[in-house]
Amino acid sequence: MDKYRIKPGKKLDLSKWDPNDKSIFPMGKKVGKDHLKQLNNELETLQELLYAEGKHKVLIVLQAMDTGGKDGTIRHVFEGVNPQGVKVSSFKAPTREELAHDYLWRVHKHTPGKGEIVIFNRSHYEDVLVVRVHDLVPKEVWSKRYEHIAAFEKTLADEGTTILKFYLHINRDEQKERLQARLDKPEKIWKFSLGDLEERKLWDQYIAAFEDALGKTSTEASPWYVIPANRKWYRNLVISSIIIDKLKSLNMSYPEAEDDLSGVVIE
Ligand code: AMP
Ligand code: MG
């Protein structure tokens, strides 16, 4: 899975990353979907252990272009996990109160506590993505944020948070198909907004903003992964596998009972 990790200190060129890649799971969609069920079970067990042990905090950040698959990833990768102990925080356009504070204010309070997994559906990265592309603040302001973000995440990591960040990499043609599908299907049309078409025109500016954001903030303790995401089943397998590998590396164990239970008989 390391092939999808952005190595620290390297400039990122997303045109070199294939959104159709399926080299790690070449099995195809049908077998791939079956395999995900096994991974779902494994993740469920690990999450249970994380919750019981109550020691580690896990933060998962999802970012993507519109239609990139953030919602679908949450639905499929976390299928079956116990909702107690897993939270999703979705970041929309900031409220007036949020705008009156620094951009990390609304984010910090949603970070995970001990035993928790928190999934960020969008995140503080919007403050160097949409904010940059639309000039919502001047360049002198947003250009300093990469350093703040790196420092913020270092603080979380130093204080015991395990961080994984996933960029769901689709191409422009795939976005066109997915937008069309939203338009065509009654059960998807609620997700379509005319604004998405305006954002689509800014594709290249978004790619440039993503390249800077991901390239400047991928560290050993807080890595970014570029996930090939044109194929949803493949995207799910890769993300699930990376999370499982990470959780296994924490060497967790179930805690002992607090009381001395030797000789206990239940009447
Ligand atoms: P969705 O995730 O499709 O529900 O859309 C949420 C919207 O909120 C997107 O258009 C984001 O670009 C926008 N958004 C999220 N965070 C920010 C932010 N910090 N500043 C401005 N817009 C944001
Ligand atoms: Mg949307």
Per residue in 54-80, pLDDT tens? Answer: 999 999 999 999 999 999 999 999 999
pTM exceeds 0.75, yes or no: yes
Query: Is the pLDDT reported for residue 263 higher than 90?
Result: yes
Q: Is the CB of residue 212 below 6 angstroms from any atom belonging to ligand 1? A: no
> CA-CA distance, 234 to 165, in Å (whole number)?
17
Residue 199 vs residues 44, 110, 137, 142, 207: alpha-carbon distances, Å: 36, 27, 18, 19, 12
Residue pair 121/107 in contact (Cβ under 8 Å)? The answer is no
Dig out the tokens for 167 from the structure. Answer: 């960029």
Position 29 confidence tier, pLDDT thresholds 50, 70, 90 = very high
- Which of 61, 108, 125, 126 should be mutated for ligand 1, with most atoms under 8 A from CB? 126
Strands (E) in the chain, as ranges, are 57-64, 86-90, 117-121, 161-169, 224-228
> CA-CA distance, 197 to 166, in Å (whole number)?
24
What is the residue with the minimal CA distance to atom 13 of ligand 1? 93
- Which of 66, 92, 101, 145 should be mutated for ligand 1, with most atoms under 8 A from CB? 92
What is the arithmetic mean of pLDDT over 236-244? 98
For 119-134, the pLDDT digits (tens) are 999 999 999 999 999 9
Query: Is the pLDDT reported for residue 10 higher than 90?
Result: no
For 152-207, the pLDDT digits (tens) are 999 999 999 999 999 999 999 999 999 999 999 999 999 999 999 999 999 999 99
What pLDDT, on a 0 to 100 scale, did the predictor assign at position 152?
98
If 0-12 CB within 10 Å is exposed, 13-18 middle and 19+ buried, where does residue 5 land?
middle
Query: Is the pLDDT reported for residue 1 higher than 90?
Result: no
Backbone angles phi, psi at 59, to 5 degrees: -115, 125
What is the residue with the minimal CA distance to atom 14 of ligand 1? 93
Residue pair 61/243 in contact (Cβ under 8 Å)? The answer is no
What is the arithmetic mean of pLDDT over 91-120? 98
Query: What is the assigned CATH class of domain 2-249?
Result: alpha beta
Q: Is the CB of residue 65 below 6 angstroms from any atom belonging to ligand 1? A: no
